[in-house]
Every structure is written in C-alpha cells, then in structure tokens.
Amino acid sequence: MILDNLTVLITGGTGSLGHAVISRLMTGEMGKPRKVIVFSRDELKQHEMRLRWLQPSPPIEDLRDFSPKDVLEFRMGDVRLYDTLMPALRKADIVVNAAALKQVPQCEYFPFEAVRTNILGPYNIVSAIREHRLPIQKVVTISTDKACKPVNVMGMTKAIQERLILSANLECPDTHFMAVRYGNVVASRGSVVPLFQKQLADNGQLTITSPDMTRFLLTLDQAVDTVFEALRFGAGGETLIPQVPSARVIDIAQAMVGSRTNGIKIIGIRPGEKIHEILISEEECRRTTERNDYYVIHSILPEIGQQNIESVRDEEYSSAENLLSPQEVQSLLARLGFCEADS
C-alpha cells in the first residue's frame, strides 16, 4: 500500500485535521507507515495527544497489526522556525502541511503572524527540500475556500501558500507538491458548530452574521479523504477540491437550537467576510478537470502538469449552489451528534 514503510510528517499535527489524519493512519487503510511524526508547537496538545495514543485507557479499538507506540513520534517545533523543522523533514518521505493560522478575525488583527505561519512556514518546507535535496516523495498542503478570490488576510496568505507550494514543483522536480482546498469542516476547532455549541452551553443566543450566508460543509473524515486522495492519485501542481454540498448558516443554527428558547441573533457581517464562499473561480474553471468525486485544478504555470485540458466547469463553484435543505442539514448534524434527529 502507498504508505508502507514510509515516514509521514504532519505539521500542525495536534490540530483537528492532524488528529483525524492520525486516527485514520493508525487503522492501516493507507498501509503500515514506518513512522508518523506529529509536529507542532503546542506543548499541552502534544502532551494530551501523547497520553491518548501511547497510554490509552481503555485501549483504542480498530487498530491494525501495529502499535501506535512503534509508529508515532512526537516532535515539538514550529514551521516558522527553519532549525526546528529541518530535523523532522530529514526523516520524512511524505509531508502533510496542516500547520495554519485560520481564525479570520485574529489574522485581521495580526496579519504578519498569519504571514509567518501560512507563507513563511511552507516556504521553509520548500527551502529545506531544495537546499538539502531531501528525498521527499510528496508534499500536500491544506488550503481553504477563502484562498479563492480572497478578501481577508487568512485567505490571502493561503492563496500565496498555494502558489508557493505548487511552483516548488519546478525547483524540486523529484518531489510532487500538491494542495487540497475545501470549505468548513464540521466540528473542527474554530468553526461555526463548536461556536454554536458553546453558545448553547452558556444559555446564550446563537449569533449569525447574515441570514443569507452560505458555507460549504464537509466532515473531518471527508477532509481526510481529500488528503488521502491527493496522496494516492495526485500529481505535482494539482489542487484537489472535494465535491461537497453547501448550507445556509441560519439552517445550521436552527437545527442546533431545536426546541430551545434561546433563539438566533443577527449580528452583521464581520470585516473580510463573504456572503458566499467560492472553491473554484471563473479563471480556474478553464484549468479544471474531474477525477473520482473531486475537481482537479491544474497549475497556472505551463511548465507544470496538463495543458490544453477539457474543462468540466463553465462557472465558479460557489457555496450558493447545491444547498442542503433545512431537513438535510438537521439530518447531517444529527448523524454527527450535534443535534437531535427530526421527529
């Protein structure tokens, strides 16, 4: 299998996606890695994750024929600091770059911190591979719908990250650099569902910025599926987009409020926020093909990837299309345990 006897480095490995990727890798569905390196700068999250996997009580189910103690390695470090990143990269065959600053308001208040993590961090990965000729097979970086026609700092830094990573295919031809781009991951840290959960727990009103606002929705497992799809089938220079539905944020709120009397409060659009998100722009449509259940955006650089392709889209891929009905939103959230099923 694809990861048999390979070392996988996950930057930002203690985040929501990192947890999900590691849980899936430990089932053996991608093969038996030699090592999975969990790389992050948060000592508390590293400690908690180490306890969960290396001292599990009760034992973690659904593990294959290898022990997390043999596979997992925890490393403190920061993608922004080349000297802490380099020792981890020297060991790696595969890199999943999930390190990010992704809170939109925080990035607006501290834009250069977003630049450090979302741009300089990936640049350090590319520089290390190029300068030391590291034999890394694939690098997959995690992007966002906010990188498409960006209007906020987080999206702008992620847009540059995509271009930086994909152009690295020219400088490091022995490594395949790819991006995956998707929308809101239900229940990931900082997303709207945990915010609503906290507001409900505090007996407060659920706050939404606009009744017209829509967002792409996918589960953590679908986010991991997208990363694994890139590792299995992706080629250098590609950006992979999952074909997922969208929902109105007010429908999510109403499903979670249920019969409670808290209600919903409209607070107005925040700086840099869009009414509808976009996963593929009009310009990118000309470079978009389809593979399995994913769109594939081919590189803007003619030296990389396919040229003269037959596009499968004529217009941008917006969260205003393919909307889930309120009943479908409730069914999805109920299946994930965030609200009661509709009786």
Query: What is the C-alpha separation between 240 and 140, in angstroms, rounded?
Result: 10
Q: How many CB atoms lie within 10 A of CB 89?
A: 22
State how far the alpha carbon of 64 is from the alpha carbons of 25, 61, 110, 262, in Å: 10, 9, 43, 45
Structural Rg of the chain based on CA atoms: 20
Largest alpha-carbon pair distance within the chain?
61
Decide: helix, strand or coil at residue 16: helix
With tokens 């906020």, the residue in question is 152
- Three-state SS at 264: strand
Which one is catalytic: 32, 35, 69, 146? 146
Compute the distance between CA of residue 270 and CA of residue 106 in angstroms, rounded to an integer: 12
Active site residue 158: no
Q: Cβ neighbours of residue 324 under 8 Å, at least 6 residues apart?
A: 217, 245, 246, 247, 251, 332
Residues classed as catalytic = 146
